A and B are shown apart, each in its own frame.
Chain A
Amino acid sequence: MYDTTLMHELNPMCMKLEFNRARYLFTLALVLTVMKTWAQKEPMKFGEIDAEHLKMTSTPLDSSADAVYLGCYGFTHYESRAEQTILVTDYHFRVKILKSTAVDEFATVALQEYVGGNTTEEVGNIKAASYNLENGEVVTQKMNKDAVMEERLNKRTNLVRFNIPGVKEGSVIEFTYTLRSDFIFSLRTWYFQKKHPVMASEYRIVIPNVIKWQYYPKGANYPFAVRELKTDGPVGSLGWPTSNGRWVKENLEGMKDEPFLTTTTNYLSRIEFDIFSINVPGRMTQNMSASWENVGKRLMEEEDFEGYLKKCDFLKPKVDSLVAGLTNDLDKAKAINLYVQNRLTWNEEHYLLTKNEPRTVWMVKKGSAQEINLLMCAAMRFASLNVYPVITSTRSNGYFERPDLNQADYVLVGAVINETTHFFDATRPYATPGYIPSDCVNYFAAKYLGLQTMPVIVKPQPGSKQSAFAILNLRDDSHLEGNITTTYSGYLANQFRSKMKDTESNDRKTEIEEELNGEVSEYATEFLDSLLSPAVKEKIKVDVSSGDLNIVGDLIYITPLLHMKEAENPFLRETRVCPVEFPYPFEHTATITINYPEGFTPNEIPKPAIIKLPENGGQFMYQVQNFGNTIQVMSSVSIKKTDFNPEEYTYLRQLYDLILQKQAEPVVLKKS
């Protein structure tokens, strides 16, 4: 089974967890040990299968689903092992295979363990079985213990896998396992909702009262069938009173991936947890990271953060020479950003942890996002700029809404220059300073100001535009030829430069030829490497003789936008569950002039169109006019806001329909 939500439960962005946890391990040993207790019976018992589930052939939750979770159950509590406290979670999943397409996905189960360092995780107590109805009899096949295979996947991760025997269309399968973890303050998110529909999902927790914690229901708004939290008296001689939580949700639909979405994980129905502090009377009080102030405090103490910034003195002379002669603070920031991104190569890692000392990173010219951006932050401080590190989460990692460092995975640099907040990143060699990677524009972030650490919003910069300007001439011999200059700016410039970094201009030429269904005889770019220039230009000379140009008898039909049309409606599905989240607002414009020879007259010119989305969310304008022997075409598509809720989806989809329709309308010329 490779359900991402399950993998998520078992794949805790390992390095950053260690960063958060390791040092508290020993001080808390023994203290938390409680017996696992729960008065209520468990919702499922291994091996007790409901005959109805073997007979079922579909689920009312989704008639096309190929599998449905009959039950999911998790129970988290603390235990003691070898004089230390560990966090233990028992998992139990039961799935009905409705169609054979789901067999592979569910019959092989893959779990991950974090095994690097002193703090580890361990999967154990694995049991699995399949149940089939054969000639009216329930046939049970239990998995042999030796079917569990464990192997080292990489330095930090073990992969534990097993195949459940006898799985086919119609089977009910189930498996249970226990995850024992040294990361005792890392309460994992429980996902009620998954990719496949879920009939029932229950999560329980027993936490000693010495720990102050909180839970947050998140995602799709399914009601709780059970939601209780109560306190139990101490258990055993060393125990503490405990708070016992129990949450149940039922009948949740599966969540499918959709285009223009941060990640489905942001919208899955779930509960998240936070631990604020631990307070053992007479022994210790320790605040955990559940307030922004505490986040700041933790980072101040951290070698990998505040400590890192302090080791960057060697940069000062370089910075002095870089900003010499510059008077404007924004220019200084950009110059430093550009210098750092040119010097350092990003190793594509971006967890909240540094591996190498600042000087090493600087000398080997390679580092993680955090290493590179902390170096840049230090460099900007030497230029007396008002800058601070910004902690955030990438779009695919979900939102960083609460002061929980486990949810963060990226560090940027923030700067207040002339009372405006700017964000900088030096990991991408093609990016214009000030336009941070669009994957990092994820709204929620925190600016690190020591004890004054506080949330900050990272919104996309305006100004992403792709504008094409074409002058074309219709030749007597049935060719349309001319020059087209396309200017890309903002994030679209980054996107274009990133693409061209790995593309030969000849290949790019061929690519345009395919879109154009014509020939590109000349190809050139301008400002491709001038990253401080706000825009990059692409200039082509084209010759089109078919496709968008049709000549039949004495009529000529021209679809004037050629390859500058919108390629497709990205919103193919009729309905939408999650909001549409564009990474940034953008505008696509095309201005086309077509000169045609004497002897032709316009026979039909497409009518103009203007359509606007509600609340000024975006618009499309299209206009074709004839002046003398010249046709002027103007097309403009702009998406002005980034988030559209599912109710607005229909408008967005209709907007694209109209765009495609208008842009496909030919101009008709007639030979007189």
Chain B
Amino acid sequence: MKSIHFFLIWLLVYSPSAFAYKVADIPGPLKENAHAVVRRDYTLLHINSPSSATLKAVFAITVLDKKGEEAARFSRYYSPQQTMAALTGKVYDAMGVLLTTLKMKDFGDVSAVDAIYSFGESRVKFFNPAYTNFPYTIEFSFEQTYNGIIAFPNWTPVNFDEISVEKSEFVVIHPKGMSLRMRQLNLASEAEVTQSYQDGTIQHRWLAENVPAFKSEPLSGDKRRYLPLVEVSPVAFEYGKVPGSMENWNEFGKWIYQLNVGRDQLPPEAVAEVLKLVEGAASDEEKARRIYAYMQSRSRYVSIQFGIGGFQSFPAEETHRLGYGDCKALTMYTKSLMQAAGVDAIYAVVYAGPRAKFYTDPAFPSQAFNHVILCLPFDGDTTWLECTSRDMPFGFLGDFTDDRYALLATENGGKLVKTTRYDQPDNLRALRAEVTISPVGAGDALLNYHWSGLQMDNRLSSVWFRSQTEHRNQLIKSFPIPKFELKEVDHSIRQVGAPALDERIHLLLPSYAAVTGKRLFIPLNLENRMTTPPVSKDRKNGFELAMAWVDRDTVVYHLPEGYQVEAQPAPVRIETPFGHYSSHVLVEGNTVTYLREVTASDGYFPADQYEAFFQFRKQMADADAAKLVLVKPE
């Protein structure tokens, strides 16, 4: 049984002579393909009680060339809940000779507000090294104090492409008898656990050593799939002076519920307005639709983060009055409106983000959330509402919060429930177009689109957030056709059943077909050409196709008089595990119909299949470039 007195570690860490950071000491393999080498990354999380902890860290990195500079940038959030107690830096030359010392005041200090619509008290201390004598080593030491705990930072020893790691250590110390939840991903060895002779505290230590530089590969998905990670979460905790437990989801859900209890009260005039609004509605769903539209018409999203307000909603009354709020306030407000009309609605926390589907793990109860949505538990048809958007169709989540666990915060505690999943047939893009080609190669095109599921998601943002003129300009950019003139753009969002977007676009394409003396060359695929994915040779990790989808294009070309088809592409049919592709052309008199269908699968595929996937996309790209050749008989 090995037992280290961990005060010894402190001595080592804080004694400057112990680490000279000579560049010559870096093992050869760590310099390969590396722009910088993390010499020492030491994080000590010392938990004293459910509401107090300190985090001490030393981070030293040798920057070998200009491209390694980014990894040597320091940036750390702080707030009244997590103060910055100490912060220093040291710069060494290649020989390990100390060049400069940085004090707290040498670090930049800016508000963490990243958008004009966000309000909060978080700030960032930062330092961007810009020394020009490579290689050099920079070491940062800082200490943060927790005033209230709800979550701890993850340990991720490998963070950047083309940066190697000599040594990275994560140490967690907690009082004996205090339970913590911990787990590790993609790490070969388990934590070393020791107990202090002095005070009986328990220490867990993880170590990553001599990790060569890696380069991330295209489509490799979230880094949690392949990079080491240790997560630590409190079980008993206290935040904003409110104690709680993450023993299980039920307990944590209860804490959230309690924080927000009574915040769903509306002023009487608002209740009266809601009752008037839902008069004559045949079902709860109809009531909910009307209320959602009402909320959307009078509210806007503003991000607000202050202290416990990170978890506590503004009272619904206030949101009603102000007409703005953050995700908590707007969800609470919508919940209160629903309740006023007798519609059941539950406040639900979720981790939002297109790549964050797995961040909430049923087996790891923790503060794994960053967003709030509303759950309407209709019989056999649970409906979810995103309350921060003025334009989202009723019951649509999109890839921001789809297909993941959300925690319902109810009177009886928390319950983990999966949100809506969009399957292949849901994620549809269908185009039916008619294009009349003139003898000089101009096209007059009428396009009818139908979008649903996640394919609608992207399209919606271009329809919404712009004025009509800007929407037209955006379309002009998104079409891969060199030049055209938009005559008419129109769209409608289907409000019955599953949401869908229909778009109608009238275009003039003055030089759609290339014309030579006697021939016309008509590109058959109007505006939906496949591109090839990035080349990725000698792949190490698997690849992720995040969304399954279907594209159906039918383009009817009306040909000018006097031409006949000289050449047309043969039908193409490709079947692979990644999806199917088919395209073919039907010629009937002066009408040519181009039919194309792609069904793409989602999933995580092994590295050795990437080449096959690349070839599939390449074959599609080639087939999509096909042209119809018309000739005028002499």
Question: A: which residues have CB within 8 A of B?
Answer: 2, 64-66, 99-101, 103-104, 107-108, 110, 130, 141, 149, 151-154, 159, 161, 163, 165-169, 256, 345, 347, 365-366, 510, 513-514, 517, 546-547, 550, 552-553, 555, 557, 559, 568-569, 572-574, 604-607, 657, 660-661, 664-666, 668
Instruction: Judge whether A547 and B567 touch: CB under 8 Å.
Output: no
Instruction: Judge whether A366 and B130 touch: CB under 8 Å.
Output: yes
Instruction: Judge whether A514 and B531 touch: CB under 8 Å.
Output: yes
- Which residue in A64, A553, A569 is a CB contact (below 8 Å) of B482? A569
Offer 27 A-B interface pairs, CB within 8 angstroms, sorted by A. Answer: A2-B116, A66-B467, A99-B467, A103-B300, A103-B390, A108-B302, A110-B116, A130-B323, A149-B119, A151-B113, A154-B108, A154-B110, A161-B119, A167-B300, A168-B297, A168-B300, A365-B133, A546-B625, A547-B622, A547-B625, A550-B629, A552-B567, A552-B629, A572-B476, A604-B518, A661-B514, A666-B516
**Complex formed: what's the CA distance from A573 to B484 in Å?**
10
Q: Which residues from chain B contact A604 at a C-beta distance below 8 Å?
A: 516-519
**Complex formed: what's the CA distance from A358 to B224 in Å?**
48
- Which residue in B483, B521, B534 is a CB contact (below 8 Å) of A657? B483
Q: Which residues from chain B contact A149 at a C-beta distance below 8 Å?
A: 119
B510, closest chain A residue (CB): A657
Q: Which residues from chain A contact B116 at a C-beta distance below 8 Å?
A: 2, 108, 110, 161
Instruction: Judge whether B130 and A345 touch: CB under 8 Å.
Output: yes
Interface centre among A101, A547, A553, A660 (most CB of B within 10 A): A101
Q: Which residues from chain A contact B108 at a C-beta distance below 8 Å?
A: 154
Decide if B464 is an interface residue (CB 8 Å cutoff).
yes
Instruction: Judge whether B515 and A665 touch: CB under 8 Å.
Output: yes
Instruction: Judge whether A163 and B483 touch: CB under 8 Å.
Output: no
**Given pairs A163-B324, A555-B566, 10 additional interface contacts (CB within 8 A):** A101-B466, A103-B390, A110-B116, A141-B323, A166-B321, A168-B297, A366-B132, A552-B568, A604-B516, A661-B511
B498-520 vs A, CB cutoff 8 Å, 1 = contact: the mask equals 00000000000011001111110
Instruction: Judge whether B117 and A104 touch: CB under 8 Å.
Output: yes
B296, closest chain A residue (CB): A100
Q: Which residues from chain B contact A169 at a C-beta distance below 8 Å?
A: 297
With known contacts A64-B467, A557-B627, A167–B323 Cβ distance under 8 A: yes
- Minimum CB–CB distance for A479 against chain B, Å: 13
Q: Which residues from chain A contact B130 at a C-beta distance below 8 Å?
A: 345, 347, 366
A147, closest chain B residue (CB): B322
- Minimum CB–CB distance for B529 against chain A, Å: 10
Instruction: Judge whether B569 and A552 touch: CB under 8 Å.
Output: yes
Instruction: Judge whether A65 and B467 touch: CB under 8 Å.
Output: yes
B476, closest chain A residue (CB): A572
Instruction: Judge whether B322 and A660 touch: CB under 8 Å.
Output: no
- Minimum CB–CB distance for B191 against chain A, Å: 38
Decide if B356 is an interface residue (CB 8 Å cutoff).
no
B468, closest chain A residue (CB): A64
**Complex formed: what's the CA distance from A568 to B61 in Å?**
44
Instruction: Judge whether B629 and A555 touch: CB under 8 Å.
Output: yes
Q: Which residues from chain B contact A110 at a C-beta distance below 8 Å?
A: 116
With known contacts A169-B297, A366-B132, A660-B511, A152–B111 Cβ distance under 8 A: yes
Q: Which residues from chain B contact A165 at a C-beta distance below 8 Å?
A: 321-324
B304, closest chain A residue (CB): A163
Q: Which residues of chain B from 243 to 271 have a CB within 8 Å of any chain A CB?
A: none
- Shortest beta-carbon contacts, A-B, top 10: A552-B567, A546-B622, A166-B323, A165-B322, A660-B482, A64-B468, A661-B511, A664-B514, A64-B469, A365-B132
A153, closest chain B residue (CB): B111
- Which residue in B469, B514, B568 is a CB contact (below 8 Å) of A665? B514
Q: Which residues of chain B from 389 to 411 have a CB within 8 Å of any chain A CB?
A: 390-391
**Complex formed: what's the CA distance from A2 to B297 in Å?**
22
Q: Which residues from chain B contact A517 at a C-beta distance below 8 Å?
A: 621-622, 625
A110, closest chain B residue (CB): B116
- Minimum CB–CB distance for A422 against chain B, Å: 27
Q: Which residues from chain B contact A104 at a C-beta distance below 8 Å?
A: 117, 300-301
With known contacts A347-B130, A557-B627, A668-B519, A163–B111 Cβ distance under 8 A: no
A555, closest chain B residue (CB): B567
**Complex formed: what's the CA distance from A555 to B515 in Å?**
16
Q: Which residues from chain A contact B622 at a C-beta distance below 8 Å?
A: 517, 546-547
Q: Which residues from chain B contact A606 at a C-beta distance below 8 Å?
A: 516
Q: Which residues from chain A contact B322 at a C-beta distance below 8 Å?
A: 163, 165-166
Instruction: Judge whether A101 and B467 touch: CB under 8 Å.
Output: yes
- Minimum CB–CB distance for B388 against chain A, Å: 11
Decide if B285 is an interface residue (CB 8 Å cutoff).
no
**Complex formed: what's the CA distance from A666 to B630 in Å?**
13
A567, closest chain B residue (CB): B482
Q: Which residues from chain B contact A345 at a C-beta distance below 8 Å?
A: 130, 132
With known contacts A153-B111, A604-B516, A665-B516, A569–B119 Cβ distance under 8 A: no
